[in-house]
Structure 1
C-alpha cells in the first residue's frame, strides 16, 4: 500500500494544483513546466496524468539521466521528432540543449501547432521554470508553469489514512509521521511502510490493528536500510577526486548542506552564512566540484551541480534523509581524513610577479586538476570584489594557506606586490611552509640560498611538461 518505488495506487494524493497541471498537459501544443524540490512528487504526478490520457494523447517519457533518452531529446531539439514528450531532470541537460529546447517551447507556445512543433512537458528541480523564462523571456505567458510544494499536514494525513484503511490498520499517532517527513511524499511512504513492517503488519488483515509509532526505532531502521544503497556514494563524494588525508572540502560542504535541511542550495549563499566552511566551498564551487562529479559516476547519480548558478542538489529524497541522520564524525574517520591542529583554506597559495603569470597559471591549473586547493589570484577576483587585496593577501599568504609556492626571480625581488606578499610569508620560511621555485640567480631578501627549493630556469618550448615534472608533481608529493 505504501509505495517507495514507482507510482503509488492506493496512497496517491492529488496536490491542490493537480487539475491545473492536468489541463495544461492535456492541451495540445502548450508547453508545460513542473518544478519543485526532490520528494515533492513531480514525476509521480506527471506519470499519473500520462497514464490517464488516451494512448493517442499520452506523452512519451524521457529522462536526462539516460543516455539513450538524451539522444532522443537532442533529436527533438533539432526538430527531427514531433509528438508530446515528458523531459524529466531537465536541469541535468547541457546549457546549450536547455536553450535549444526553450527556443522550441517558445515556437510551440506561439503557434500551438502540433503538426509543426512537439509538445514539451519539462520536469526539473527548483526554479527550472524561471530559468526557462530567462532563456527566452517572452514565453512566460504562454507556458504552463506549475510548482509542486511539499504536502500539507492535512494532505499527508490523507495519504496515511488511504493506505491504512486499505490495510485495515490505524496508526497510533499519524501526526508524528508528518513531523518527521515535513510533507515529503517519498519519506511519508517510507516511514509508513517501515512502521508497518516493524509492527508486523505486512498485508491486509481480517481485523483492524493499531500500528504504534516509535519514531526513534523507525528512523534507525530506515537509515540502516538506506546505508547499504547510499553510503558508498556519499563516501566517494566526500573523499574527492584524488584522496589525500587533508583534502576534505567536499565532506565539509556536504555536511553543511545536510545540516541546512534543504536538499537544493545555492553554494554561494551557503558559503556566505557559514564562515567555518566558506573557504572550502569557495575553493571547490568554480571548477573542482564539477570535475569531481564528472569523474565519479557513483556520486553523480545522486548529486547535481550547476556552476552557472552555483546550485547544488541532493536529488534523491532517500539520500537526503540518509544524510540528515548520518554519523558525520564516523564518516570522517572512515574516509581517512586526518585531524590537524590548524585548518587551512588553501593547500597552496602561489606568489609570483606578473611576468611569470603563464607559469603560475599552468601550475594552478594542473594542481586544480589533481584536486588541490589552490589560491591563484585570477580564480578569486569575484570572491574579493570590494575588498582590499592587501588585507586579503596578508590573510592568505600569512595563515590561510598550508604552503606558499613562490616563483622567485628579479621581478619578484623588485616589484611592489610580490615584495608585499614576500614580507607577509617570510616569517614562515623557517617553519618550512614556503616552497621556493628559483627562476634565475637573483638573490631574494629574506630567503637564504640554502633553503631547499626547486630550480626551474628553462622556459623554452615544451616548458609545460617540464614544469609538471619539476614543480607540480613535487608539490603533490609534499602535500601527500
Structure 2
C-alpha cells in the first residue's frame, strides 16, 4: 500500500490539504463572509496564502456551491463581470485578479459595492481578491466606499505560522527535516516559498512519499536552495532580461527598468510605489518619470505576456507589484551587479549603503568597537549597531537589520568567538548572511579559543585568525588592512 505522495503534501500548485495553516487574518475573513451585503476586499502579495485561506473559509461555512468564481485574467469572465451591476441578486461572486480589470470596470464595480452595502443586500455579495492595495484602488474610484467595505490585508506570515506548515508536512510524510530553521528563514513569510523549498529538499533526499517508519532528512540547504534557484533562473532569466532592457538596451542611460526591478527585489511586500521611489532616489527622477508617467512602463508589461504573467503595474495607484512568488524568489536571489553586466549595462553598479557590517557577540563588543573605529579611520562605511541606535528607535529591529546582513553591506565581518553561537541575535544575523558565503561576501574572524569544527560552514572560505593574548591593536590593524584590500579588489573587478 503506497503512502501519501510528496506532491500531495508540499504542494506547489492548488489549495494545500495536509499543510493548510490558518493565517492571522483567518477569523476576520470568516466574520466578513458571514456578514450580508457587505463587500469584501482580500489583498496582499502573491504566495502569502490569501487565496487558500479564502477557499478554506468558504468550505468551512459550507457556501462553496453558492459562490460564482470569476477572474480578471479570463477573457470569457470579463463580460460577465461588466454585467454584474445590472443582474440583480446573483448570490456570492468572487472576482479574482481584480487588479487586472480596466479602470471603467473597476469604477462600475466600486459603485455597485456601495449600492449593495447601502441596501444591506442579502441577495448579492461581492468578494474582490487582488494584490496589494486593491482596496485603496477601489476607494479611489468611489471615495465614500471606505466605511462600506471590509478590507482584509494579508501580510507576510510570522515564522511560527511557516513552521506550523512545515511541521504538518513532516507529520504527513513521517519525516524529520534537519534544516527546518533554514527553510523558515528563507521563506520570508511566504507559505508558497516554504512549500517549494521543502518539496525540493525532499526530492534531494529521495523522499517521494510517506513510509511506515519516520525517516530523517539530512541534506545541505545550500545544495537544495541552489537547485531551486537554477531551475527558476531557467524559467525567469529571459523574462527579467526583457523587462530590464525595455524596448531596447541603452547602455549609456540610467536603466530605469533595471532599477525598478532591483528596488522591487529589495521590498518586503513585493511592491514598489513610484511616488516613494521618486522621493528616495531623486537621482533617477527623470528616467523614472519618463517611463512611468508617459505610459512606457505599463505598455512594456501589458504587451509582453511573459512579463505580464509575473509583474503588474497599476497606473492609478502607481504601484509595481510581483504576481508570481517564484519570480520574486528569483529576483531576490540574483547577483545584481553580474546580472546587469550580463544583459548589457556595463556601467551600472548597485552600490550598497555599507562597505562592511559587523556581526559579533555582546561579550566581544570592546573588540568590535575598536575594529569599527579603525574601519572608520580608513573612510569606509561600517554598520555597527551602537552607532545607529537613533535610526533603530521605534522600528521593528528584525526588519531593520535583515536587509543589512542580507545585501546592504558589501561584506559581513563576523567575529567568531566562543560566545557567538550562544546568542539569539547572532543566530538571527547569521541566518540572514549565511547565503552570502556562496557570493564570497563573508569574512570570518576566528578567535583562538574556538575549537576546530565549531563553525564548519566558515572553514570553507578564507578567513583571519585572532589571538587574544597577542597585541590586539596590531592584529586589528592587520585585519582592517586585509579587509580594505579585499574591498578595493572587489570594486576594481566590478568596475
- Indicate the TM-score class for this superposition, using the shorter chain for normalisation: 0.5 to 0.7
Structure 1 partner of 2:333: 325
1:176 aligns with 2:182: yes
5 Å matches for 1:49-128?
49-54=57-62, 58-79=66-87, 82-115=90-123, 118-128=124-134
Please state how far the C-alpha of 1:313 moved relative to its aligned partner. Answer: 0.5
Q: 1:138 aligns with which of 127, 140, 144?
A: 144
Partners in 1 of 2:88 and 2:38 — Cα distance?
19
| Alignment partner of 1:162 is 2:159 | no
Rg larger in structure: 1
Q: Does residue 1:20 correspond to 2:20, yes or no?
A: no
1:130-179: CA deviation from partner (whole Å, max 9, x where unpaired): 33234334343332221212211211111111000111011224222121
For residues 339 and 44 of structure 1, do their structure 2 counterparts lie closer, same or farther at Cα, with a shift above 3 Å needed?
Answer: same
Q: What is the CA–CA distance in structure 2 between the aligned matches of 1:249 and 1:138, rounded to whole Å? A: 36
User: Of 272, 275, 287, which aligns to 1:268?
Assistant: 275
Output the CA distance in 1 between the equivalents of 2:341 and 2:179.
38
Q: Is the 8 A contact 1:106 1:139 kept in 2?
A: yes
Choose which of 252, 264, 269 in structure 2 pairs with 1:257.
264
Give the 3 Å change call, closer, same or farther, for CA 147–246 of structure 1 in structure 2.
same
2:205 to 199, 203, 213: 199
Any idea what the Cα deviations from partners look like across 1:114-135, whole Å, max 9, x if unmatched?
Answer: 44xx310011222222332343
Matches within 5 A, 1:401-416: none
State the partner residue of 1:293. Answer: 301
- The answer for the alignment partner of 2:486 in structure 1 is none
Superposed displacement of residue 305, structure 1: 0.9
- Structure 2 runs not aligned, ≥5 long: 1-8, 350-495
Task: Report what 2:38 is aligned to.
Answer: 30
The answer to whether the aligner puts 1:305 opposite 2:284 as a matched pair is no
**Equivalent residue of 1:281, what SS?**
helix
**Using a 3 Å threshold, how does the CA distance of structure 1 residues 227 and 103 change in structure 2: closer, same or farther?**
same
Q: Give the match for residue 287 of structure 2.
A: 280
Does the CA contact (< 8 Å) of 2:313 and 2:320 recur in 1?
yes
CA contact (8 A) 1:177 1:191 kept: yes
CA distance 1:114–1:11, change in 2 (3 Å): same
| 2:446 alignment counterpart | none
Between the aligned partners of 2:200 and 2:64, the Cα distance in structure 1 is 39
Partner of 2:10: 2
Q: Secondary structure at the match of 1:203?
A: coil
Contact 2:340–2:348 (CA under 8 A) maintained in structure 1: no
Q: Is 1:186 aligned to residue 192 of structure 2?
A: yes
Equivalent residue for 2:157, pick from 143, 151, 164: 151
Unaligned runs of 5+ in 1: 342-480
Higher alpha-carbon deviation: 321-330 or 94-103: 321-330
Distance in structure 2 (CA, Å) of the matches to 1:262 and 1:55:
31
State the shift of 1:338 in Å: 5.5
Distance in structure 1 (CA, Å) of the matches to 2:268 and 2:192: 16
Aligned to 1:476: none
CA displacement 1:62-87 (0-9 Å, x = unmatched): 11122112222112144477231111
Q: 1:140 to 1:245 in 2, by over 3 A?
A: closer
In the alignment, the residues of structure 2 paired with residue 262 and residue 106 of structure 1 have an alpha-carbon distance, to the nearest angstrom, of 29
Distance 1:91 1:340 in 2: 33
RMSD of aligned residue pairs (Cα, Å): 2.4
